[in-house]
């Protein structure tokens, strides 16, 4: 693999953004594989591990992609099959009027100016082929009807741009017909996967998740030891020893979170927050080393792969005999739990309607899937006054909240995290209204794009988000970007270092953990990052 391309300096990158389209018509403008803007091709071992078709060594920069002999047939049959399975796909191929309302809503367009990143054009890349092979007008009138031949160059273009869309759905908020480019990107990825054109960054986690239970490939003993290390830190901070359980049968609740919370910073701080909260509540819950992934990179591959990877959650809940499932902070995990999981593997009638053992609240809105979001769970606790909080421990932080794409536009969880935030911090500031809630901007690295080799692309895609953070940083002195997504925690950290280095990134439950007053704890002098709490430090020095 070639050396990773470094992105240009932030001010150069910002200056380079130009929204003026090129002179040549898009159909005549070939795709350019510029280092730093695409991911590596998947190594064959990853595809072989999950029996995906056409594994081989290949690189997107190569002239020859070593496509299988009958690649065209495979793609066209794949399209035909999916046009008959997904109404969204068929309808969104047919009804776009190219009004252009979506054009400047995509973070990749705003950060790159590349017209093929306008959602409408991203979709036209596919529609033009659809017209040629599946509509009468396209067959007869060809280019005049907006149709074009399917060629190897088209496949390259698809690959480049469908792995340059984070399926964030922001365009679909503004589209008068609700056309969702994510639905088209999902198909673009399914089709390219039929040809073995996976990215390495998605292929690896998929293979890991299938065999080892989680994207990071953490084996059972490692999961346990990672969590125990967090417990060591918690003991140092609070004086309280937490003894979480793993794969325990008969627990009331199974807790499932993205594996990003188990490894790497600042994800583990969020995880420490969960551990402290559940301990303080005396919650009868268990971790699972088998269902050790809430996220699902399979979704960035194909529907079938996504379904395979998300099998484990209900299966494990059944094996352990829990009553219901609590889910951690994660973006695409919750899109899938909310909109897909039950359809794939449910309804899980062996579980009970989730009921908080602490407040008695019955989570009616999750009565079919039996899965509750941890922000819903915690908001309910706070509402009922069941936990003691000292928000002043977060007083050194001026916090803003990043709504994750998936939980915003594929679930609608806006108030719960804000309610929690407002009770655990004293300084909370919203970013401008056109950049939050349903209009929130992607971190630029979702849907499997958070690799290292496409850094320029990621910094461009995250530009609108960073731009809004910089606004509140300058206006209110915001220095912490809270969120409820594991990929955000990793991706926004890099994004902030690049665009707004004054701002750090954390999960919601890290702030909860800081503020949580635990029974029998010692006086807190450190936050969950083992950094001294500013006010307390001075006090101690005086003493």
Partner 1 sequence: MGALFSFGAVVVLLLIPAIGAGALKMHSLFGVVIPYLAVVIFLGGLIYRVVGWGKVPVPFKIPTTCGQQKSLPWIKHSKLESPATSWEVAARMFLEVVLFRSLFRNLRTEKTPADRVVYASSKWLWLGGIAFHYSFLIVFIRHLRFFKHPTPKFVSIIESFDGFLQIGSPHLFVTGLVLFGAAFYLFLRRVFVPAVRYISLPADYFPLFLIMAIAGTGMLMRYFWKVDIIKVKELTLGLATFNPTVPDGIGVIFYIHLFLVSALFAYFPFSKLVHLGGVFLSPTRNLANNSRMVYHPNPWNYPVKVHTYEEYEEEFRDKMIAVGIPVEKEPPKEEEEKAETEETEGKE
CA distance 356 to 363: 8
84, 239, 282, 452: which one contacts partner 1 (CB under 8 A)? 84
Scanning 57-65, 86-94, 443-451, 486-494 for contacts with partner 1 by CB under 8 A, the matching segment is 86-94
- Of 7, 196, 464, 513, the residue at the interface with partner 1 (CB under 8 A) is 464
The smaller minimum CB distance to partner 1, of residues 39 and 277, is found at 277
Question: CA of 280: how far to CAs of 91, 362, 389, 508, 518, in Å?
Answer: 50, 21, 12, 17, 6
Task: Compute φ and ψ for 243, nearest 5 degrees.
Answer: -120, 80
| 502-541 positions binding partner 1, by CB under 8 A | none
For partner 1, the binding residue among 56, 98, 422, 529 (CB under 8 A) is: 98
Nearest partner of 330 among 292, 363, 356, 282, judged by Cα: 292
CB 264 within 8 A of CB 450: no
Our finding on whether 74 is near partner 1 (CB under 8 A) is: no
The token pair at 59 is: 């690189």
Cα→Cα distances 81→26, 75, 103, 182, 347, Å:
28, 10, 29, 18, 26
Closer residue to partner 1 (CB): 58 or 334:
334
Between 355 and 529, name the residue whose CB sits nearer to partner 1. 355
Tell me if 301 sits within 8 A of 199, measured CB to CB: no
Q: Which is nearer to partner 1, 414 or 429 (CB)?
A: 414
Residue for token pair 């300058």: 474
* Rounded CA separation 109/103 (Å): 8
Q: Which three-class secondary structure state does DSSP give residue 482?
A: strand
Site string for partner 1, 22-61 (x = CB under 8 A): ---xx------------------------x----------
- Binding partner 1 by CB under 8 A: which of 74, 101, 240, 358? 101
Of 85 and 388, nearer to partner 1 (C-beta) is 85
Query: Pattern 198-237, binding to partner 1, x per CB under 8 A?
Result: ------------xxxx-----xxx--xx------------
Q: Please check whether residue 65 is in contact with residue 163, taking contact to mean a CB–CB distance below 8 angstroms.
A: no
Smallest separation (angstroms) from partner 1 to the CB of 3: 28
Would you state the structure tokens that stand for residue 480, as one six-digit string?
A: 């912490």
Residues touching partner 1, count (CB under 8 A): 119
Of 104 and 521, the one with the shorter C-beta distance to partner 1 is 104
Residue 321 is a binding residue for partner 1 (CB under 8 A): no
Q: Would you count residue 344 as binding partner 1 (CB under 8 A)?
A: yes
* CA–CA gap between residue 409 and residue 501 (Å, rounded): 28
Contact criterion met (CB below 8 Å) for 469 and 493: no
Place of tokens 């056309």: 179
- Kindly tell me which of 73 and 228 has the beta carbon lying closer to partner 1: 228
Q: Which CB sits closer to partner 1, 178 or 532? A: 178
By CB under 8 A, is residue 413 in contact with partner 1? Answer: yes
SS3 of 24-48: CCHHHCCCCCCCCCCCCECCHHHHH
Residue from 44, 68, 395, 419 in contact with partner 1 (CB under 8 A): 419
Residues 370-409 that bind partner 1 (CB under 8 A): 371, 376, 379-380, 383, 408-409
Q: Does 86 contact partner 1 by CB under 8 A?
A: yes
Burial class of residue 474 (count of CB atoms within 10 Å of its CB; 0-12, 13-18, 19+): exposed
Q: Based on CB atoms, which residue is closest to partner 1, 451 or 496?
A: 496
Q: In whole angstroms, what is the distance from residue 352 CA to residue 516 CA?
A: 29
Please give the Cα distance from 409 to 437 (Å, whole number): 8
Q: Which of residues 273-292 bind partner 1 (CB under 8 A)?
A: 289-290
Interaction between residue 80 and partner 1 (CB under 8 A) = no
The residue from 85, 241, 388, 522 that contacts partner 1 (CB under 8 A) is 85
């Amino acid at each position: 693999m070639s050396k990773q391309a470094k992105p240009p300096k932030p001010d150069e990158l910002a200056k380079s953004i130009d929204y003026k389209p090129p002179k040549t018509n898009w159909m005549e403008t070939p795709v350019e594989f510029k280092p730093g803007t695409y991911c590596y091709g998947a190594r064959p071992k990853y595809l072989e591990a999950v029996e995906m078709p056409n594994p081989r060594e290949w690189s997107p920069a190569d002239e020859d992609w070593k496509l299988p002999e009958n690649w065209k047939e495979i793609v066209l049959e794949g399209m035909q099959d999916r046009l008959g399975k997904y109404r969204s796909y068929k309808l969104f191929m047919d009804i776009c009027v190219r009004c252009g309302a979506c054009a400047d809503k995509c973070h990749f367009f705003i950060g790159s100016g590349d017209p093929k990143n306008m959602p409408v054009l991203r979709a036209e890349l596919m529609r033009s082929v659809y017209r040629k092979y599946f509509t009468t007008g396209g067959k007869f009138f060809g280019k005049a009807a907006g149709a074009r031949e399917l060629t190897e160059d088209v496949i390259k273009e698809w690959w480049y741009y469908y792995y340059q869309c984070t399926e964030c759905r922001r365009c679909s908020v503004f589209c008068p017909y609700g056309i969702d480019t994510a639905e088209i990107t999902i198909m673009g990825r399914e089709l390219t996967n039929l040809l073995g054109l996976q990215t390495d960054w998605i292929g690896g986690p998929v293979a890991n998740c299938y065999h080892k239970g989680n994207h990071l490939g953490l084996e059972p003993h490692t999961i346990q030891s990672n969590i125990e290390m967090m417990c060591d830190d918690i003991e140092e901070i609070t004086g309280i020893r937490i003894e979480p359980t793993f794969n325990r049968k008969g627990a009331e609740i199974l807790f499932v979170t993205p594996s990003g919370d188990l490894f790497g910073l600042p994800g583990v701080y969020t995880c420490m927050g969960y551990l402290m909260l559940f301990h303080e509540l005396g919650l009868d819950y268990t971790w699972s080393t088998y269902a050790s992934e809430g996220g699902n990179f399979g979704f960035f591959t194909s529907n079938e792969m996504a379904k395979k990877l998300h099998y484990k959650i209900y299966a494990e809940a059944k094996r352990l005999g829990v009553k219901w499932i609590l889910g951690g902070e994660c973006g695409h995990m919750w899109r899938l739990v909310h909109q897909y999981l039950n359809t794939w593997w449910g309804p899980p009638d062996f579980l009970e309607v989730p009921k908080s053992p602490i407040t008695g609240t019955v989570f009616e809105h999750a009565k079919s899937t039996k899965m509750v979001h941890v922000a819903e769970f915690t908001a309910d606790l706070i509402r009922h006054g069941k936990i003691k909080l000292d928000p002043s421990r977060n007083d050194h932080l001026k916090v803003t909240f990043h709504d994750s794409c998936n939980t915003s536009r594929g679930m609608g969880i806006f108030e719960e995290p804000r309610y929690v935030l407002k009770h655990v911090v004293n300084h909370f500031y919203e970013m401008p209204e056109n950049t939050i809630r349903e209009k929130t901007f992607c971190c630029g690295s979702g849907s499997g794009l958070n690799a290292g080799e496409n850094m320029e692309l990621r910094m461009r895609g995250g530009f609108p988000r960073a731009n809004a953070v910089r606004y509140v940083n300058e206006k209110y002195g915001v220095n912490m970007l809270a969120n409820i997504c594991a990929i955000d925690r990793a991706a926004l950290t890099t994004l902030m270092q690049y665009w707004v280095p004054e701002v750090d990134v954390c999960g919601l439950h890290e702030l909860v953990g800081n503020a949580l007053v635990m029974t029998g704890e010692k006086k807190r002098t450190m936050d969950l990052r083992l950094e001294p709490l500013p006010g307390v430090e001075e006090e101690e020095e005086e003493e």
